[in-house]
Structure 1
Amino acid sequence: MLTIKDLKKSFSQTGAPLINNLNLTVKTGESVSIQGASGCGKSTLLSLIAGFETPDGGDISVNGLSIAGNSKLDNTFKAKDIDNFRKQHLGIVFQSFNLFDCFNAWDNIAFTARLKGNVDNDYQLALMEQLGILPLAQKPLSQLSGGEQQRCAIARALVHRPSLILADEPTGNLDETTSETVSDLLFKTCKEANTSLVVVTHSQDVAVKADAALRLHKGVLERVNCESTEQTLSSPIAAS
């Protein structure tokens, strides 16, 4: 589903490597959490997968589409197609929610599906009910708590049925209790929708909910096991 091979990205100012020959494989419906020190490149990695940034080397492919790099596939991605790629294949959950103040909860959630042109009101109703925010549908954003807004952000990322969800610190602005509820819902909803999930988080409690818990360190991903020991893998890391 998601395959990253020998990915490289350097700091633009110094040229020092930030991501160095990074490999990752995530299958359909699987989840991966990525932890690491501040500034180690976690958010940059998500930006590369989403096509917001261009790698210095390596390859990223989603559903067989090579969106960046040196793939020899016939359908190698073109820069002009990147917006359409995000609409069709990705759901993004931002740390700061990125909801629209002028919309109510329903319209915020429907926004991505409307862009894609596949609005399904029944699916959105079911998704909001599952996330516990259906009673909030007509409420303006100003009347929603932080946890309610983050649930709306998760619903918006899922409503157009993407193949892959990228979540950048999805519970970073939430208190401990709300963080537990929202992260449970994120992993549960993605699993039930058979949607792959890559989540960047500083929270160990969130990280351990994933099928594979990884750490970004010195430009590569290391698997973190239950004893908190780490192993760096040179071949692509698989979630399973």
Structure 2
Amino acid sequence: MVLSLKGVSKHYETAEGPLAVLSDVDLDLAAGNSLALTGESGSGKSTLLHLAAGLDKPDRGRIEVAGQAVSEMDDRGRAALRRGIVGLIFQQFNLIPSLDVAANLSFHARLSERSDPAWETELAERLGLFSVMRRYPEQLSGGQQQRVAVGRTLASRPSLILADEPTGNLDEANGDAVMTLMLELIAETGSALLMVTHSTRLAGRLDRQVKLTQGRIVP
């Protein structure tokens, strides 16, 4: 399994007391598979993604990525995991303002020592970015910035892609093209995709769908 969650629970402290966000969640995702995580706002979807990425730690339970116990790692170990194994695509683009599109695309791949200029050029072409490679983030539209963020993640060919509404800032045609590219990468490399989405249409393109309701997975 590329991703495994066993009995994972998470709560946050609020002025009104502890707020349970996830309760005893079990989830498995194998190499080469894609999974859509659906549910209403506040159901715990983004929290689950953050835990899987090692951006936060669970209160209880075990999380493994590519056989490594993320839930037991220190900050340095989790950061290394995100550099080399896990690719993140969140709603915030988090592009580096001082780098042009070409440098942003290759940034994570260089950090993980997986830079492949030919693959990065292919990504730029397939994402419709080849003509803007020397522009900076502030010179791009929101949709272009989203495509750069997607390409930056795919450039390092991660084992696990965690995506939170990755096509939310794109029109339907561009969103479908990005989804096709991510699914093709999974087929080509054997990586896995866990995607949070509110779109039943996009969720239907993935291998499986799981719904979170009040922090629990429901059938």
TM-score if structure 2 supplies the norm length?
0.90
In 1: Cα distance, 2:89 partner to 2:23 partner: 25
Distance in 1 between residues matched to 2:205 and 2:74, nearest whole Å: 35
Q: Distance in 2 between matches of 1:192 and 1:127?
A: 14
CA contact (8 A) 2:162 2:193 kept: yes
Structure with the bigger percentage of helix = 2
Residue 101, structure 1, aligned to residue 91, structure 2: no
Task: Quote how far apart the aligned CAs of 1:112 are.
Answer: 0.6
| Residue pair 1:150, 1:182 contacting (<8 A) in 2 also | no
Report 1:200-239 matches (<5 A). 200-222=196-218, 231=219
Q: What amino acid is the match of 2:215?
A: G
Letter in 1 for 2:20: P
Q: Which runs of 5+ in 1 are unaligned?
A: 69-75, 223-230, 232-240
Out of 125, 128, 135, the position equivalent to 1:132 is 128
| Aligned-partner residue type, residue 65 of structure 2 | V
The answer to whether the 8 A contact 1:23-1:220 is kept is no
Indicate the residue corresponding to 1:48 in structure 2: 51
- 1:160 maps to 156
User: Structure 1 residue 150: deviation in Å?
Assistant: 1.7
Q: Work out the CA distance in 2 between the residues paired with 1:150 and 1:164.
A: 19
Per the alignment, in what secondary structure is the counterpart of residue 25 of structure 1? strand
Pairs within 5 Å for 1:106-125: 106-125=102-121
- Tell me, in whole angstroms, the C-alpha distance in 2 between the residues paired with 1:127 and 1:194: 17
* Equivalent in 126, 140, 147 of residue 144 of structure 1: 140
Which residue type is aligned with residue 27 of structure 1?
A
- CA-to-partner distance for each residue in 1:28-75, whole Å, 9 max, x for gaps? 11111111111111111111011111101011001110010xxxxxxx
CA 1:188–1:118: 2 relative to 1, 3 Å: closer
Letter in 2 for 1:22: V
Deviation of 1:21 after TM superposition, in Å, equals: 0.8
CA–CA distance in 2 between the matches of 1:155 and 1:48?
23
Cα RMSD, aligned residues only: 1.8
Q: In structure 2, which of residues 29, 40, 63 is the aligned counterpart of residue 37 of structure 1?
A: 40
Which residue number corresponds to residue 27 of structure 1? 30
Aligned to 1:85: 81
- Percent identical: 37
3-state secondary structure, aligned to 2:156: coil
Contact 1:19 1:220 survives alignment (8 Å): yes
Structure 1 match to 2:7: 6
> Does the CA contact (< 8 Å) of 2:42 and 2:214 recur in 1?
no
Counterparts of residues 173-192 of structure 1 (less than 5 Å)? 173-192=169-188
Query: Which residue type is aligned with residue 35 of structure 1?
Result: T
Amino acid at match of 1:4: L
Superposition deviation, residue 147 in structure 1:
2.6
TM-superposed deviation, 1:16: 3.3
Relative distance call for 1:190 and 1:132 in structure 2 (3 A) is: farther
SS in 1 for 2:70: strand
The answer for the alignment partner of 1:67 in structure 2 is 70
In the superposition, relative to structure 1, how do residues 131 and 176 fare at CA in structure 2: closer, same or farther (>3 Å)?
closer
**Cα contact 1:93–1:170 (8 A) shared by 2:** yes
- What is the one-letter code of the residue matched to 1:12? E
Post-superposition, which runs of at least 4 consecutive aligned residues in structure 1 deviate over 6 A? none
C-alpha deviation, 1:152, in angstroms: 1.3
Three-state SS of the structure 2 residue aligned to 1:114 is: helix
Count of residues in Structure 1 that have an aligned counterpart in Structure 2: 216
